[in-house]
Structure 1
Amino acid sequence: MYRKYGSPDNLKLTYLDKPVPKDHEVLVKVHAAAVNYGNLVLLRGKPYLARFVYGLLKPKHTIPGGDIAGQVEAVGKKVTQFQPGDSVFGDLSGCGWGGYAEFVSVPEKALALKPANISFGEAAAVPMAGVTALQALRDKGNIQAGQKVLIYGASGGVGTFAVQIAKSFGAEVTGVCSTRNLDILRTLGADHAIDYQKEDFTKRTEKYDLILAVNGYQPISVYKRALRPDGTYVLAGGSGAQFTQAMVMGPWISLTGNKKMSSMLQRQNQKDLFFMSELLETGKVKPVIDRLFKFSEVDKAFRYFEEGHAQGKVIITIAEAS
């Protein structure tokens, strides 16, 4: 838990009563949870605009944790989708957070059954990052088979999912990452990998139907030049300046030409969890785990995540599967 905004030093292990599920809720024994940007916003209270949602002077949600995976311990009397003993994974960002705990009680609509072919740690990596990539490519980007897709920041949590999801839709995928991550992109099935430390992708003559920017500090004008005349740019992560440009300049660029420039924020959606579950079960998507931390090392997990060099997802192991 944490009582005030600030550094990971504010996170303290605390004992609370075990939650009791309400009528439409499921009590989950949490085996693993993920670290992501949303949790960092909760902890730091930055950007400051987020405080209008999460609490102006102090945090409204004192237990962070959005992505979880675990086993159903008990169900409310009106729950229809799950029963005790089920292995589940889900996104708590739309229902109070609270995943960094041994037990959490959440609405059943926040969960899906965990595919049997992945671990709890792998399942915890999926909900927010995987669904962000899916919604950005499919819903905002309207991805189509045969399109040329560029993913900037392709080796991080969202990026590794985006590469695989784009390939599952039949796109030709180019990933942009650092030197040490090139092999990861090739393993994930990227058709082309660009090392931004050695090459500026904007200097290429190649134009793209869809660009997904997950990380980096490129101005919106750079991405615009790299698009085909009717191409689409979607921002799903990066610096504050990038988001400001996408929100302010994106609509104007879209109105004055055929290129579409937009930003997006992931929304909790059970149907999208089901969709991701199918991709996982069929092996079309495989979560990439960078590092596992113990529950007592949550502060260390946050510090490592903040360094910004994780290859895939950072996972906190809360309870071992029985």
Structure 2
Amino acid sequence: MKAIVQNEYGTTDILRLTDLPQPEAGPDGVVVQVRAAGVDPGTWHLMEGTPYLVRLMGFGFRRPKARVRGLDFAGVVHAVGGNVTEFRAGDEVFGTCQGSFAEYALTTVDKIARKPGRLGFEEAAAVPISAFTALHAVRDRGGVAPRQKVLVIGAGGGVGTYAVQIAKAFDAKVDGVCGTGKVEFVRSLGADTVFDYTREEFGGGYDLIIDTAGNRPLNLLRKSLTPQGTLVIVGGESGGKWLGPVGRNLRALLLGPFVKHRLRGLFSTENRDDLETLRALIEAGKLNPVVDRTYSLAEVPDAIRHVSEGHTRGKVVITV
């Protein structure tokens, strides 16, 4: 099979399109034929091996343990292990795996669900990682409730687009912050008010702020919360090469015990129950993925460079 492979950490120059053996299912595995794969900022963090903390977290200290990048995918079940009864060859599925930038990938039943009938493969591949993160930020860490006032910073990005829609699905009043070129786009997602950060500042009185951009100090964000409000830190690139986005999460964790506000970091994980929740929201028409642009498998380096620039509208997707 064709796959995008890296044998060392570095820039997109180290990525190569090459031939690899197809994965085997084993007793408990599911081999999928990948039709499309999503690209998120975590892809280039793992490609570069930065922040260095990711190397200490088991991804490989000197070189990556996994040679093929990519987590999100949508595709067709190719083969299943003898212990797998939930799926069979030919089923259309979406979810996560290790190494979706390839023609075939290995996953497990707890990481996949049947593809929503409303979506094509490209749209479905744009869902898992970013929508998981948004769901956990809004529902689990944010504890959103009906009629609460929610602010999503970075509302036009991969996670932000889902956070706006999910918060609306929970009957919250949702405002968004984005750049000039995305104002009407974010409004089309259902945001009640959209602030162009190049021209205006948002106000206060928010029960929940979800920050996916990471450019504002915690103390400044806290001023826009209600006295018992919650701040969820999702992203940010201000922690340097050692901590990266994790740095703001740690600062929120350390500050939390000393203030009345609830300051939450977020380390999202994938599971089938949440994937089914997302699938139900999609089928109900309450959650719609947005594909910024698509690239071929051979163009993965270009796709990762585009995402690393931080100006995507929704998600970037690889077609296989």
The TM-score, its normalising length taken from structure 2, stands at 0.94
Q: Which amino acid aligns with 1:251?
A: L
Q: Is the 8 A contact 2:249 2:266 kept in 1?
A: no
Separation in 1 of the partners of 2:248 and 2:176? Answer: 22
Q: Is the 8 A contact 2:295 2:318 kept in 1?
A: yes
Q: Which amino acid aligns with 1:62?
A: R
Q: Which amino acid aligns with 2:300?
A: V
Name 1:48's counterpart in structure 2. 52
Name 1:215's counterpart in structure 2. 213
Name 1:106's counterpart in structure 2. 107
Q: Deviations over 1:5-60 (max 9, x none)?
A: 11111110111111221111111000000111221111010001111121111111
Give the SS at the match of 1:173: strand
After the TM superposition, which residues 187-266 of structure 1 pair with which residues of structure 2 at under 5 Å, given as runs?
A: 187-201=188-202, 204=203, 206-241=204-239, 243-248=246-251, 250-266=252-268
Matched, 1:8 2:6: no
Q: Which amino acid aligns with 2:317?
A: I
Matched, 1:86 2:73: no
Cα drift, residue 253 of structure 1? 3.6
Separation in 1 of the partners of 2:188 and 2:304? Answer: 27
Q: Is the 8 A contact 1:253 1:260 kept in 2?
A: no
Separation in 1 of the partners of 2:301 and 2:248? Answer: 32
> Which residue, 24, 28, 44 being the options, matches 1:24?
28
Name 2:126's counterpart in structure 1. 125
> Which residue, 285, 289, 299 being the options, matches 2:287?
285
> Which residue, 51, 63, 67 being the options, matches 1:58?
63
Cα drift, residue 257 of structure 1? 3.0
Greater shift, 108-117 or 255-264, is seen at 255-264
Q: Is the 8 A contact 1:247 1:262 kept in 2?
A: no
Separation in 2 of the partners of 1:7 and 1:183? Answer: 34
> Which residue, 301, 305, 308 being the options, matches 1:306?
308
After the TM superposition, which residues 176-187 of structure 1 pair with which residues of structure 2 at under 5 Å, given as runs?
A: 176-187=177-188
Give the SS at the match of 1:47: coil
Q: Which amino acid aligns with 1:123?
A: A
Separation in 1 of the partners of 2:232 and 2:14? Answer: 34
Q: Which amino acid aligns with 1:145?
A: P
Q: Deviations over 1:272-308 (max 9, x none)?
A: 0000000111110000110000111011101111111
The size of the alignment, in residue pairs, is 310
Cα drift, residue 252 of structure 1? 4.4
Separation in 2 of the partners of 1:105 and 1:62? Answer: 13
Separation in 1 of the partners of 2:159 and 2:288? Answer: 12
Cα drift, residue 191 of structure 1? 0.6
Name 1:171's counterpart in structure 2. 172
Q: Which amino acid aligns with 1:87?
A: E
After the TM superposition, which residues 263-278 of structure 1 pair with which residues of structure 2 at under 5 Å, given as runs?
A: 263-278=265-280
Separation in 1 of the partners of 2:226 and 2:288? Answer: 30
Give the SS at the match of 1:240: coil
Structural RMSD (CA) = 1.1
Q: Deviations over 1:169-194 (max 9, x none)?
A: 00000000001101111111111100
Rate the CA distance shift 1:298–1:182 in 2: closer, same or farther, 3 A: same
Q: Is the 8 A contact 2:30 2:109 kept in 1?
A: yes
Name 2:76's counterpart in structure 1. 71
4+ residue runs over 6 A deviation: none
Q: Which amino acid aligns with 1:33?
A: A
List gaps (5 residues or longer) in structure 2.
240-244
Separation in 2 of the partners of 1:256 and 1:17? Answer: 54
Rate the CA distance shift 1:220–1:98 in 2: closer, same or farther, 3 A: same
Separation in 1 of the partners of 2:248 and 2:190? Answer: 31
Separation in 1 of the partners of 2:103 and 2:285? Answer: 29
Cα drift, residue 254 of structure 1? 2.7
Q: Is the 8 A contact 1:220 1:246 kept in 2?
A: no
The TM-score, its normalising length taken from structure 1, stands at 0.94
Name 2:242's counterpart in structure 1. none
Give the SS at the match of 1:284: coil
Cα drift, residue 141 of structure 1? 0.6
